[in-house]
Every structure is written in C-alpha cells, then in structure tokens.
Amino acid sequence: MIQPARCFQLLVLGAVAWAGLALVPTNRGWCQEKSVNPGINNSFQDPDVSQFVERFEKEGREVYDQRQAIVAATGAKPGQAVADVGAGTGLFTRLLAEKVGPQGRVYAVDIARKFVDHVEAACREAGLGNVVGVVCQPDSADLPEASVDLVFLCDTYHHFEFPEKTMRSIHRALRPGGEVILIDFKRVEGESSDWILNHVRAGQEVFAREVVSAGFELVEEKRLLKDNYFLRFRKAAK
C-alpha cells in the first residue's frame, strides 16, 4: 500500500509535470483525491436544455455532422445494452436506442437531472421504450455491475473530474469483453484552437493512458474524424 506521505509527494510531482492533472499512475492505480479540472461542469449544474440542444445538435459540429457514421463505427448490435455516459441532450442516446432495437437497452447517463429528464421525455415522444435515464455522480457512472456491453463517451471524458474513479465504475459496469468507445477533441499545442487548449486538460495519449490504467486495453483507433479522435478499448481479462 502506498503511504499517505508518498502519495502526497507523487501528487505534487504530477501537478508540476502536468498542470491541472491530479492523477498520478502508480503500480496499483492512481492517487486521486481532488478534481482534475474543478469547475469544468459548472454549466451543467442547472442547464438551460434548449440552449444546449441548439449548441450540440446543429450542423457544423463535427460529431453531429458525422453522427450516423459514428454510431455505425461503434459496432453496437441489436439486443445489446449500451451506456451513453455524458448523454447531454440525448443525440446519441436516441441513435443508439434505434441501433440496439426493442430487445436492447440504452442507459442515458449524465450528472445533470435536467438533461436526463429531457432525454427520457424525448425518447418517449419518439416511441423509444428501451432508454433508461441515470443521474450519475461526479466520480461514478452509477451503473449496475456487469450490466452493459458497450460504453459510449463522446466529447465527455475531458469533463470527468475524477476520471480514475469514473473509469473504474465503468469497468465494473461492463460485462466480460465489454468495450468503451472514446471520442474526444484532438488537443495539439500549436495546432488546436485556444478554446480546446484551455478547455480540454490533456491530449489523446494522456487520456488513453488513463483509460488503460483503469483496466482496459486499446484495441482500435479509427481515422473517422478530423477534429476528434475515435478509440476503442476493451475490458481487459483479469
């Protein structure tokens, strides 16, 4: 077991090595006690859903424009259970619900109750009876153990304030051989916009390394998007 003093030293070193990153990989996991990006989810505490619908579901947003190709690339199959973690306005929840069909299930997971209520209502109106809303915690997806085959994270991971704990909860929720699709913004110094550099705390390599450290293996990278990357991880066998 890592002693408290040693854990504190590792956290200090990690903060120096990567500003804003409060995670430090060790042989047994990470020492993570504080948010890695405090305040990043403030706008979701009491969101105006209509404003976010206009922002998230509009032409010109890459993941919206490529939504059908993205859903096809996930490999979601009829009858599967899928979790859309960070569901937001439910754009991908609805598409995934159609993909898995009446015999499947989609969990719409979000920290904002207003988002979850909106997604559930929209799905009812669309005749999609296979969607279950889940209001999660900042450090957990709050999904039942071994309940899903696929977890979908689209422009969501960089909002995880406690990524190690959240990914561990996702690991528990996945069935053996279950997969995680991670889509997030490419963050490259000197190339990415100021918004991305200021908003997204780390780039692809760091996020991928964190997911692997939570018990996953990287099995695929698709060259599907321009501004975002698409990674597939699989729950590693014990």
Domain count, the chain: 2
Phi/psi at 130 (5° precision): -110, 25
pLDDT of residue 32: 65
Q: What is the pLDDT of residues 80-105, one digit of tens each?
A: 999 999 999 999 999 999 999 999 99
Comparing CA positions, the residue from 179, 172, 190 lying closest to residue 219 is: 179
Residues 45 and 93 in one domain: yes
Q: Are residues 13 and 64 in the same domain?
A: no
Domain span at residue 28 reads: 1-34
Looking at the structure, do residues 163 and 130 belong to the same domain, yes or no? Answer: yes
Same domain, 94 and 124: yes
DSSP state letter for 236: P
Mean predicted confidence (pLDDT) in 27-50: 83
The reported pLDDT for the residue numbered 2 is 42
pTM of the entire structure? 0.87
The structure tokens listed for 220 are 């695929």
What is the predicted pLDDT for the residue at 16?
32
Question: Same domain for 21 and 64?
Answer: no
| Cα gap 91→84, rounded to integer Å | 10
Percent pLDDT > 90 in the chain is 85
